[in-house]
Structure 1
């Protein structure tokens, strides 16, 4: 049984689309499994990633690096502990143009989706297809991982993360700031909206039993809590995005690569001994 695709990638997030573009550039025929487009996709998504120089170089090679307002260079980092403990890092001291870049996730996803649509060699499909190699890029909630029988162990930490966006009275100065409190909270302000920006992405790690009370606060009261935790370093704060939350987990797959003939044959209704092997690469959560 011949396959019309060299590789089937299950999952069309940032990892799956980037891999598809890289493989298509090598003239491989790629099937990218993605659900139908959601017109509301990206609306209300407050995620932001800290990407390294290596990640920037890779995405620039694909012409998918966002403009500066969506990929703000971090020139310094300040980490504050309880009491007077603090540590600082500087791009100047390291002799680099930036420590990393804080990238708006929806902006990056849009660029990758557009690139996939224009790239020959990639077929976007809604269901898995036969291919000599299957790559799983579905993340923590992977259905394929369960289908292939890959054990995925999770350890739940006693914390949840809350994420949102804030507008600040003062410019962030391209500084990423983090505070560790005596109560066990960890708050990060990540600079957004370019070099002169006044917006930050917030990630606030709290003990799980406190999550409901914090999520019940109105926007003004929530911003006031963050003002207090940050010592007012950026002046008055206003919440400008929705709040998202998720549990913090340690997740490990027992296998990263290997043959999966029996499970694959069953999934695709192949004969008991399919003609070509496939490989499973469960994605780390």
Structure 2
């Protein structure tokens, strides 16, 4: 194929998942012409839209989607979050009423978010190249050259990596940890659901989350059950009745009996993070930090990355923006990485420490300022500097 060259882009975004799409839409919203932004993705749009995975959007992420015209979308609101330790006293309950919000967050499909953001990007006139992969990237002087696997060569002032993949398929970054867990994901129904309440239940093997997500199929919750790899394989292979019984034993009876489950998938869990950047390239979202799914912070942290980077690139699409981005995102990234890493490890196992941690949840529930602070970190990230809802700034 004859090589084609294009030299008109301010920003090239590698990866058109929710974070890459959000960055493109925010850049256009901030004043960069759509034709000067290019999105490159290996998957056809239809593949991404049909992705059935459930994801949790924090309230701050909803505000970002509103900013670019990608909200409302089909989603189930989370009004309260119940956190507990299986077999130990103590629990904490966070409720939207304490924050005077419509919801603490939302549960939706990955494909729904991609669809809404793709329409916003299309309306902004952003160029999208898919399916295509970046075969090589070369940074030289005043631009970055990207060679695609279809023979095209692009250049841009800045290239942004927004395609991270999942832990186990990535090269190790500076901060990496294998948790020795797999997440079993599915959707389930119960006999006594509590509408709009999410659960984070810590067990000896790892956290078990149930996120409210009503569907036409009658299934009411998205399940994320973190267990050892051998246990995950066993849970996937079990007959439905036995799986539901095992799930009921692990979670307890707060929602009655588990009555149905969808197909079960599993993937390995780990921490893999590095604030990677060069003079004209930078990684955001999952490409910069892959986290344990406890507390559902990965995508929301990535969307905050996109918000800050869009604001800075709109002011100056070059090296200065990348340097400032790393500075402004450092504290929020550090806090969320430390929070999820600590939660993923501290609550695993048995013994006296788990009783102490259970009592810690009770203390958290009794001390409103501490509970409020934790909820706000989960909804908005760290409130310092410009990390908090930066896309609202001028």
Deviation of residue 152 (structure 1)?
5.2
Deviation of residue 75 (structure 1)?
1.4
Counterparts of 2:262 and 2:219, CA distance in 1: 14
Residue number in structure 2 paired with 1:34? 41
1:80 pairs with 2:84: yes
1:131 pairs with 2:165: no
Q: Cα 1:229–1:161, aligned 2, differ >3 Å: closer, same or farther?
A: same
Residue number in structure 2 paired with 1:118? 123
Aligned-residue CA RMSD (Å)? 2.8
Counterparts of 1:114 and 1:2, CA distance in 2: 24
The question of whether the paired residues in 1 share the 8 Å contact of 2:190 and 2:220 is answered with yes
TM-score using structure 1 length: 0.78
Residue number in structure 1 paired with 2:277? 257
Aligned length: 255
Deviates more, 1:115-124 or 1:201-210: 115-124
SS in 2 for 1:103: strand
The question of whether the paired residues in 2 share the 8 Å contact of 1:172 and 1:199 is answered with no
Residue number in structure 1 paired with 2:111? 106
Give ranges in structure 2 of 5+ residues lacking alignment. Answer: 134-145, 147-153, 291-394
Residue number in structure 2 paired with 1:279? 281
Counterparts of 2:43 and 2:247, CA distance in 1: 38
Deviation of residue 40 (structure 1)?
4.9
Deviates more, 1:126-135 or 1:53-62: 126-135
The question of whether the paired residues in 2 share the 8 Å contact of 1:169 and 1:198 is answered with no
SS in 2 for 1:166: strand
The question of whether the paired residues in 2 share the 8 Å contact of 1:8 and 1:133 is answered with yes
The correspondence of residues 84-233 of structure 1 with structure 2, limited to 5 A, is 84-125=89-130, 126-127=132-133, 128=146, 129-140=154-165, 153-181=175-203, 183-193=204-214, 199-233=220-254
Residue number in structure 1 paired with 2:24? 20
Deviation of residue 137 (structure 1)?
0.1
Cα displacement string for residues 32-87 of structure 1 (whole angstroms, at most 9, x for unaligned residues): 001251655454623322x22221111011121243xx322211111121223222
Q: Cα 1:211–1:151, aligned 2, differ >3 Å: closer, same or farther?
A: closer
Give ranges in structure 1 of 5+ residues lacking alignment. Answer: 260-277
The question of whether the paired residues in 1 share the 8 Å contact of 2:202 and 2:208 is answered with yes
The question of whether the paired residues in 1 share the 8 Å contact of 2:173 and 2:272 is answered with no
SS in 2 for 1:227: helix
The question of whether the paired residues in 1 share the 8 Å contact of 2:21 and 2:121 is answered with yes
Q: Cα 1:2–1:112, aligned 2, differ >3 Å: closer, same or farther?
A: closer
Q: Cα 1:151–1:105, aligned 2, differ >3 Å: closer, same or farther?
A: closer
Q: Cα 1:36–1:72, aligned 2, differ >3 Å: closer, same or farther?
A: closer
Deviation of residue 188 (structure 1)?
0.9
